[in-house]
Amino acid sequence: MMETTARARTGSSRAFGAFEWLLAMRYLRARRREGFISVIAGFSFAGIMLGVATLIIVMSVMNGFRTELLSRILGLNGHMFVRGIGASITDYDAVAERVRSVPGVISVIPLVDGQVMVQSPRNAGGALVRGMREQDLKSLSVVADNVTIGSLDGLDEGGVAIGFRLAQNMGLTVGDNITLLSPRGAITPFGTAPRVASFPIRAVFEIGMSEYDASFVFMPLDEARAFFRTYEGVTALEIRIGNPDRVKELVQPIANAAGPCCDVVTWQQTNESFFSALQVERNVMFLILTLILIVAALNIISGLIMLVKDKGRDIAVLRTMGATRGAVMRAFFISGASIGCAGTLAGFLLGLAFCLNIETLRKFLSDLSGTELFSPEVYFLTHMPAEVDPGEVGAVVAMALFLSFAATLYPAWRAASLDPVEALRYE
């Protein structure tokens, strides 16, 4: 005690000196009769750790989910579409050349697309047919780099490429014939007769997005024009630009280059509701999970208040022997802040480790429970993505530290404002 008070007198008024650290660490190491306070401190540490880890994991998964969906949607559908108003684009090569001359445009691909009914001896269902030239299809890395069976070589000579899940559902593979039925058929006295055609399967691709793998069929541009009866025209020009986020800036220049008979549609307009829903869900999840950190901060407050009540006599003795109010306040501030800092660091490491191994953990838990934890049919993707954003992680860590420090201020002030005369009288 004499050594401690000597440090209190001579340890100077230096903020967070050895005396404050010694006192704070002794209070954190509770004795048997103070075990309940230690339990509360443990729960506070666990709450901060789980809150930080959960926020990092959820935000990273939401970021990865959005990035993966965006890369697959834009990788397959392009950033902008030029479509004819009320009719197909007949002079599409000339229009494509004018659009390519717009600064910022990387590629322009003419295509024909339409809804069809797919039939096989095993099953039937809907699909989206997209006709384009072989070299244009090979330029789509999301398709060309993910061909699992067969090859895209020689596709212009005839045949189609279909998604892996579509082939699986129909019981088809490379070399089999697939039957497509289109409502755009010949007009007869008895009504419109649907057009039916059979095509050999040359390739099977797997993009990794279940909705696309189960519904897309690619065929040569000339065969698509004949099948959908667009004759010498195409239904759209698919445009890719350097920066997809600046797509609105190029709408007017591209519309001027395409001409008055064409309409320009961006990927933001096509998928506006989908990505808006993702953003709202992400913000709501952040607010809900922040409550975990607030509850943990309240645990720190309650634990420190109980500690101040229990150590009232000790505080009074230290004050009479020379300890200043600032020293007592800093000691209790260190006690609470140490719990918050340790919990934040542990939560940061736990969340980062979880994000870096999330797919391995998902497979382990799926095998352990015998259930599909991330079904591709529900979540569109075949694997669970996680993208750690350093800015968001820094914001989560800063928020956890702020709540931890703020939670210690009132108990530390109560300890510093304790009257030593009154405390010793009632003790």
pLDDT attached to residue 423: 59
410 in helix, strand or coil? helix
Q: Which residue has the tokens 């289109």?
A: 182
What DSSP string runs through 259-291?
-TTEEEEEHHHHTHHHHHHHHHHHHHHHHHHHH
Which tokens go with 390? 């350093």
* Cα distance from N-terminal residue to C-terminal residue, the chain: 19
Q: Contact 78/267 with Cβ under 8 angstroms?
A: yes
pLDDT (0 to 100) of residue 188: 56
pLDDT at 421: 65
Judge if pTM exceeds 0.75.
Answer: no
pLDDT for 41 equals 75
Q: What is the pLDDT of residue 212?
A: 83
In 3D space, the residue among 106, 122, 37, 39 whose CA is nearest the CA of residue 74 turns out to be: 106
Question: Taking Cα atoms as reference points, which of 233, 114, 101 lies closest to residue 180?
Answer: 114
d(CA 384, CA 355): 10
> In whole angstroms, what is the distance from residue 307 CA to residue 327 CA?
16
What value does the mean pLDDT of the chain take? Answer: 80
Q: Which among 26, 53, 12 has a CA at the least distance from the CA of 400?
A: 53
- Phi, psi dihedrals of residue 208, rounded to the nearest 5°: 105, -5
pLDDT of residue 325: 77
180: left (phi over 0), alpha (psi -120 to 50) or beta: beta
Give the pLDDT confidence score for residue 349 in this predicted structure: 94
User: Rounded to an integer, what distance in angstroms lies between the CA atom of residue 262 and that of residue 309?
Assistant: 77
Q: What string of pLDDT tens digits covers the 427 residues of the chain?
A: 444 444 444 444 455 667 677 767 776 665 555 555 667 777 888 888 888 998 898 888 888 877 777 777 777 788 888 888 877 888 888 888 999 888 988 889 999 988 888 888 778 888 899 999 989 888 888 888 889 988 888 888 888 999 998 998 888 888 889 888 887 665 555 556 678 888 999 999 988 777 788 889 999 998 888 888 887 888 889 998 888 878 888 889 898 888 887 888 888 888 777 778 777 888 888 888 888 888 888 888 887 787 777 777 777 777 777 777 777 788 878 888 888 888 899 999 999 998 888 878 877 777 777 776 666 555 556 667 788 888 888 988 999 889 888 888 888 888 777 777 665 665 5
pLDDT on residue 7: 47
Please give the pLDDT value at position 3.
47
Q: Cα separation of 178 and 127, whole Å?
A: 12
Contact 205/164 with Cβ under 8 angstroms?
yes
